[in-house]
Structure 1
């Protein structure tokens, strides 16, 4: 924080006595050049773009595995505690990745664990083996999979995890919006984004609408917010789903209604 020096002068016995004090200078923090907002259940929170992208992938894998929203909440609480949604290549002993899984505990090879799709699938597979995990407190279910030193620590993240799960699973529509410095954006790779969507969700955008789809949420909207969260990485300038469009050029203004309408249940990436 910057410091402002304040000097006061007093006349004392014909002389001049100076008093100098140091006071904090309040300087407005610059607006972030990259960020995402997540709005659901009457709450709005901010995430780093990387955090939002990883959260969207953790949710997307739940669709591929037909996991319920409860499972996503447990996964989110776990990742908040373990890595804060950054895919880090270090941790306690040989722990790695979003979930801080350890190769020595047979979670996989290091390069596998660093793949967010692989590590998320491994977590959900472990959760499936926990009897009655949906009826357990979130922290108990997380601890049953992770076997960490302080299992109760997961409890502090439940509230935010529920908000995020509702936003990223598509049940609240265009609930995620991101903005970033255009100079940081990758070259346009719509095909790459569509391929990764299929790897994450187990379905391609061209498969929409999906009737009798996974119980996780609304897969079309979930794909749309995944694309927005990954727009910087794939050089996407706009994401359109139904009559709603997110445009990178609008900054933090979010989604808007498409003036000329759009085809229902169609996801368009540009």
Structure 2
């Protein structure tokens, strides 16, 4: 129960920030900002509320990724900057519990933004473009596409969290995470056999979905790659990154 209390406390701290609520309001309203102009000025637009939601999420997912990167980069560094790290660590909870509570609470905050974007885009799409019957499995295909975007978001958030915690620099964490995200597509086209062990070749799980409407004809970039393989590589990277972070955070002297 102590651990869940730590998470609750961290979420309350995030909820008390005006910037968090401003971003949530922005995420909810952006569907209107996109939907109303399309409805008024693009008469040739042919789509339903699901296709509109897909368009909104495709356009706005970058904002949520950046929001997640900022959360991950700042959650520990702000404690050092504000001088509250000492008060945080004198609690009876272990440093590992405190660090993981911060990691989970910020991740949940970022994922909530994704949920809000999904719900608001569906709602606005239904109001503006109607709710006529969908093609078979169209909603399921859309939902899967949204869920398959999460592994990449979570990894980039984790990377920013790790760098911010280890180097105590939110600017460095955000910069490296953004550069790595942009460079991911470059690494992904490497044809060396060892490249299949790079994380960037193992975050897009849509290629393993049996539904061709979801996978869109994508196939693993290297022979022998399976969902189990990609999941194992993904988990290994996560464990290594978080293990290093926890070790350094536990051993670091707080002056």
State the TM-score bracket (shorter-chain normalisation).
Answer: under 0.3
Structure with bigger gyration radius:
1
TM-score, normalization by structure 1: 0.25
The structure whose residues are more often helix, as a share, is: 2
TM-score, normalization by structure 2: 0.26
The structure whose residues are more often strand, as a share, is: 1
